[in-house]
Amino acid sequence: MMKYDVIVIGGGPSGLMASIAAGENHAKVLLIDKGTKLGRKLAISGGGRCNVTNRLPIDEIVKHIPGNGRFLYSAFSIFNNEDIIRFFENLGIKLKEEDHGRMFPVSNRAQSVVDALLNRLSQLNVEIRTNMIVKDLHFKDGRVESVELINGDKLETNSIVVAVGGKSVPHTGSTGDGFPWAEKAGHTISELFPTEVPVTSDEPFIKEKTLQGLSLRDVAVSVLNPKGKPLITHRMDMLFTHFGISGPAVLRCSQFVVKAMKKWKLKHVTMGIDALPDFNEEELFQQVIKLVKEEPKKAIKNSFKGLLPERYLLFLLETNRMDPNTQGSSISNDLLRSFSKSCKQFQFQVNGTLPLEKAFVTGGGVSVKEIEPKTMESKLVQGLYFCGEVLDVYGYTGGYNITSALVTGRLAGMNAASKHEEPI
């Protein structure tokens, strides 16, 4: 029977990188994926452009991975974001930096990233089996023994790298298959939940689609605790949709909505939008008074035009029961103060998020407490490695998840390969 040094299960960024690292370390590697193509999620990532990593300093990268980012410090000391950039440049993929340190291929094509990884696999003679579902893993005497395929075949191996991803966007192949295998090996699975996911609301203005399609640029979006204090605030763009809110600031806030609902057993959580975060409330109020005084006979919708996007301005005026056509001079200071306040802190209720299947990223997963942070090997079963989104590591959008997948994949592959010299 054919015996492999390393079997990598899953051809996403973590599994592709693990296979390459194992191949570069002269191991006999088999990469198995259930899909017809490798890197399906990678190919649609970053809006089809693949935000392959991020160039911020390591401490910042860790901060942008709220789900156990600190676990990655050891891994980053061996292979980090700058190594990823060099790795791709050596494969002929030039990267460019965009806002917030986000790195994309100059080609703007995620597929070019996937193709470069596939070329490297072929140079290294990594054997690939697509359209092949792994059904189960077998362990014996505290170490890995074999990988069982859906057709009943069992493939013996020294090391298994589980790189099957989480449970989000299952049509890309990530259907949570790795969690029962990890449990079978004795691992703890931290509860799964959707993260980087649009947030839902049953507020009348959402149901009535009053603001649907409106984007707010560079606003500060907060999730509030039951006492009204912000749990988290993210200053980025956001979007109103037909079911709630979305856009970068909201995606980042989404896991805090999920966690708050769970922690305080809430059906609704309050969120706030500060549409003018560069002013404090008093400064804004003075500005509003100044605008009114400059042209007291002008309709307020025109006086305040430059303050906010028109639809949002009209919405906030209406929320404050202010007729947009009223002349500024006839409006009381109290009402102007209340309007300024809602520009700074428009609060509304949200009632959850879209489901895990629709989330960009899966929160929770194989507990990192039972994984060696320098090798990605299981502390419970020898020769068993985990990498990528199957781990309880989850980052914000912005290249952090692919970074985590590539870095943990690199370590898993390198170390899995080192096992092939050991007798079994």
Ligand X SMILES: Cc1cc2nc3c(=O)[nH]c(=O)nc-3n(C[C@H](O)[C@H](O)[C@H](O)COP(=O)(O)OP(=O)(O)OC[C@H]3O[C@@H](n4cnc5c(N)ncnc54)[C@H](O)[C@@H]3O)c2cc1C
313 within 8 A of 216, measured Cβ to Cβ: no
Q: Choose between 99 and 334: whose C-beta lies nearer to ligand X.
A: 99
- As a whole number of angstroms, the distance between CA 161 and CA 394 comes to 19
Q: In this complex, which beta carbon is closest to ligand X, that of residue 20 or of residue 317?
A: 20
Residues binding ligand X (CB under 6 A)? 9-15, 32-35, 40-42, 44-46, 50-51, 133-134, 163-165, 168-169, 172-175, 177, 360-361, 388-389, 397, 399-402, 405
Which CB atom, from 307 or from 412, has the smaller least distance to ligand X? 412
Residue number, 50 or 292, with CB nearest to ligand X: 50
84, two tokens: 């990823």
Closest CA to 318 of 200, 213, 210: 210
Q: Between residues 160 and 313, which has the closer beta carbon with respect to ligand X? A: 160
Q: What CA–CA distance (Å, rounded) separates 69 from 63?
A: 7
* Nearest approach, Cβ of residue 130 and ligand X (Å): 9
Q: How far is the CB of 174 from ligand X (least distance, A)?
A: 3
DSSP labels, 354-365? --GGG-SEEEEE
User: What values do phi and psi take at 334, rounded to 5?
Assistant: -60, -40
| Inter-residue contact 253 to 223 (CB < 8 Å) | yes
Q: For residue 65, give every residue at least 6 positions away whose Cβ sits within 8 Å of its Cβ, in sequence order, or none.
A: 72, 393, 394, 395, 396, 400, 404
Contact 366, 171 (CB under 8 A): no
Q: Where are the alpha helices (DSSP H) in 233-357?
A: 248-263, 281-294, 300-303, 310-319, 333-344
Closest separation in Å from C-beta 163 to ligand X: 5
Q: Which of residues 48 and 228 has its CB atom nearest to ligand X in the complex?
A: 48
Q: How far is the CB of 7 from ligand X (least distance, A)?
A: 10
- Helix, strand or coil, per DSSP, at residue 166: coil
CB of 50 to ligand X, least distance (A): 6
121 Cα distance to chain centroid: 26
Of 328 and 363, which CB lies nearer to ligand X in the complex structure? Answer: 363
Rounded to a whole number of angstroms, the minimum distance from the CB of residue 28 to ligand X is 19
DSSP secondary structure string, 267-298?
Answer: S-EEEEEES-TTS-HHHHHHHHHHHHHHSTTS
Nearer to ligand X by Cβ, of 65 and 211: the residue is: 65
Q: What is the DSSP letter of 72?
A: G
**Least Cβ distance, residue 54 to ligand X (angstroms):** 8
Output 128 or 335, the one with its CB closest to ligand X. Answer: 128
Minimum separation from the CB atom of position 47 to ligand X (A): 7
Place of tokens 């390969």: 417
117 vs 343 by CB, closer to ligand X: 117
Q: Do 271 and 222 contact (CB within 8 A), yes or no?
A: yes
CB of 214 vs ligand X, minimal distance in Å: 23
- Min dist. Cβ of residue 91 to ligand X (A): 17
Residues present in the chain in total: 424
What is the SS3 assignment for 255?
A: helix
Distance CA 290, CA 303 (A): 10
Q: How far apart are CA 297 and CA 294, in angstroms?
A: 9
Nearest approach, Cβ of 27 to ligand X (angstroms)?
A: 19
- Complex with ligand X: residue 148 or 370, whichever CB lies closer: 148
**Going edge to edge, which strands form the sheet with 199-200?**
346-350, 269-274, 215-224, 230-240, 244-246, 199-200, 352-353
